[in-house]
Amino acid sequence: MSSAADILARLGPAADDLGRAHAEELARLDETAAARRALALLGDSGLCAWMVPADFGGADASALVGSDTLSVRAAVVLRRGLAYRSAMLDVMLVMQGLGSYAIANAVDRALAQELLRAVAAGRVCAAFALTEPGAGSSLTDIALRARQVAGGWRLSGHKTFISNAGIADVYTVLARTGDEPDNLTMFCVRAPTRGLRCERFEVLGPHPIGDVYFEEVEVSDGARLGAVGAGLGLALSVLARLRTSVAAAAVGFGRRAFDESRRHLLERKQFGKPLATFQALGFDIAEMDTRLRAAELLVDEAATVVDGGGAGTLEVARAKLFATETAGWVCDRAVQHLGGLGVKRGQVVEALYRDVRALRIYEGSSEVQKLILAKELFRQAK
Ligand SMILES: Cc1cc2nc3c(=O)[nH]c(=O)nc-3n(C[C@H](O)[C@H](O)[C@H](O)COP(=O)(O)OP(=O)(O)OC[C@H]3O[C@@H](n4cnc5c(N)ncnc54)[C@H](O)[C@@H]3O)c2cc1C
| pLDDT above 80 (res 216) | yes
Ligand 1 binding pocket includes 40 (Cβ within 6 Å): no
Q: Ligand 1 mean position to 332 CA, how many Å?
A: 22
pTM of the model: 0.97
Q: CA 155 to CA 145: how far, in whole Å?
A: 6
β-bridge partners, 224: 187
Cβ neighbourhood burial of 194 (10 Å; 0-12, 13-18, 19+): exposed
DSSP tag of 125: -
Fold of 126-229: Butyryl-CoA Dehydrogenase, subunit A; domain 2 (2.40.110)
Ligand 1 binding pocket includes 198 (Cβ within 6 Å): no
Ligand 1 binding pocket includes 160 (Cβ within 6 Å): no
- Nearest atom, ligand 1, residue 95 CA: 8
Ligand 1 binding pocket includes 365 (Cβ within 6 Å): yes
* pLDDT score of 212: 98
Q: Ligand 1 mean position to 132 CA, how many Å?
A: 10
Superfamily for the 4-121 domain: Acyl-CoA dehydrogenase/oxidase, N-terminal domain (1.10.540.10)
pLDDT confidence tier of residue 353, bands split at 50, 70 and 90: very high
Based on C-alpha coordinates, what's the Rg of the chain? Answer: 21
| pLDDT above 90 (res 2) | no
Ligand 1 binding pocket includes 246 (Cβ within 6 Å): no
**How is the chain split into domains, by residue range?**
4-121, 126-229, 233-381
Q: CA 329 to CA 335: how far, in whole Å?
A: 10
Q: What angle do CA 81, 69, 299 make, to 5 degrees?
A: 40
β-bridge partners, 201: 209
Percentage of the chain lying above the pLDDT 90 cut: 98
Q: Ligand 1 mean position to 365 CA, how many Å?
A: 6
Percentage of the chain lying above the pLDDT 70 cut: 100
Per residue in 22-68, pLDDT tens?
Answer: 999 999 999 999 999 999 999 999 999 999 999 999 999 999 999 99
> Contact 170/158 with Cβ under 8 angstroms?
no
Closest CA to 16 of 84, 87, 115, 113: 84
- Nearest atom, ligand 1, residue 99 CA: 8
Per residue in 83-142, pLDDT tens?
Answer: 999 999 999 999 999 999 999 999 999 999 999 999 999 999 999 999 999 999 999 999
* Total Cβ atoms within 10 A of residue 198: 19
Ligand 1 binding pocket includes 141 (Cβ within 6 Å): no
Q: Does domain 233-381 have CATH number 1.10.1060.10?
A: no
Ligand 1 binding pocket includes 362 (Cβ within 6 Å): yes
Q: Ligand 1 mean position to 368 CA, how many Å?
A: 9
